[in-house]
Amino acid sequence: MRREAGVVCALLLFTPSTALAASARGESGLLLPELRRVNVVPFEAKKNGRIGGYRLGQWPYERGRAPSAAYANPGGFMEVTRENRDLPISKHFVLGDFLTRDQAAVWPKYLLLDPRLVDKLELVIAELERGGRPIRHVTVMSGFRTPSYNGSGGNTSGRAALSRHMYGDATDVFVDDDRDGRPDDLNGDGRVDIRDAECFAAAAERVEARYPDLVGGVGVYPATAGHGPFTHVDVRGLRARWRE
């Protein structure tokens, strides 16, 4: 049954539209054939908040009427296994980068990931590189967050009751070329601070100007005791800007 569900293209979980125009033109590094190989499990496979041993919880409007299509229940989940978690899905990202950071021992895990988000991130990276700085690695501090994870526990910075992270089209990122899990000095001013997160946000702003179909939220967060500065990027379809 699950194998058959896998023929459903992961891309169809999200609105097919002109939004992937950038990747179609080869301007972003999104690897669509790789994404199409990922097994998809329908939303209805979730029973009592779980699929198998993996806990997801309840979506905000699971039992009511969503205020807009953007908050409707997802159509299904990508199934991430120990075997495919390192699958490259674009130039800088692998599938597992976007998983919720919990239930370390439970496999498979389930993921919502809007390909337009990866498309946008790669375009932002390309935009930064246009300025002359090669980007070797971007760390996804937080990608998809299950409602169960979003609602409790862990680091709660940047969490909202209706977080786009629960819908797979939002991410919190920072440039981390040396992969030490800490943000790098992106703008080259000799320090790591909110200006580096602003530098990433400014590149996202330029990408949205060129690709209005990738419009969404861009939020800038300063360092706290628990994490360094980071930038939230999403493709919610409406322009939103904030800083903490």
Are 217 and 241 within 8 A, CB to CB? yes
Ordered DSSP codes for 171-237: EEEEE-TT-SSS---TT-SSS-SHHHHHHHHHHHHHHHHH-GGG--EEEEE---SS---EEEEE--S
Near Zn ion by CB under 5 A, which window of 65-73, 91-99, 101-109, 164-172? Answer: 164-172
Per CB under 5 A, does 232 bind Zn ion? yes
Among 29, 60, 158, 228, binds Zn ion (CB under 5 A): 158
CB atoms within 10 A of CB 7: 9
Residue type, 230: F
Interface mask toward Zn ion for 179-218; x: CB under 5 A: ----------------------------------------
Near Zn ion by CB under 5 A, which window of 1-9, 43-51, 93-101, 171-179? Answer: 171-179
Per CB under 5 A, does 172 bind Zn ion? yes
CB of 35 or CB of 117, closer to Zn ion: 117
Per CB under 5 A, does 114 bind Zn ion? no
Provide the minimum distance between the beta carbon of 172 and Zn ion in the complex, in angstroms, as a whole number: 4
CB of 51 or CB of 166, closer to Zn ion: 166
CB of 158 or CB of 168, closer to Zn ion: 158
Per CB under 5 A, does 120 bind Zn ion? no
Are 187 and 195 within 8 A, CB to CB? yes
CB of 24 or CB of 238, closer to Zn ion: 238
Are 117 and 233 within 8 A, CB to CB? yes
- CA–CA dist 158, 197 (Å, integer): 14
Provide the minimum distance between the beta carbon of 165 and Zn ion in the complex, in angstroms, as a whole number: 6
Near Zn ion by CB under 5 A, which window of 8-16, 69-77, 111-119, 157-165? Answer: 157-165
Interface with Zn ion (CB under 5 A), residue total 3
Ordered alpha helix ranges (H), the chain = 2-5, 21-24, 32-36, 115-130, 147-151, 194-210
Provide Rg for the chain, Cα atoms.
17
CB of 158 or CB of 183, closer to Zn ion: 158
CB atoms within 10 A of CB 88: 12
Residues in the chain: 244
* Binding residues among 32-51 for Zn ion as defined by CB under 5 A: none
Which residues sit at the interface with Zn ion, rule CB under 5 A?
A: 158, 172, 232
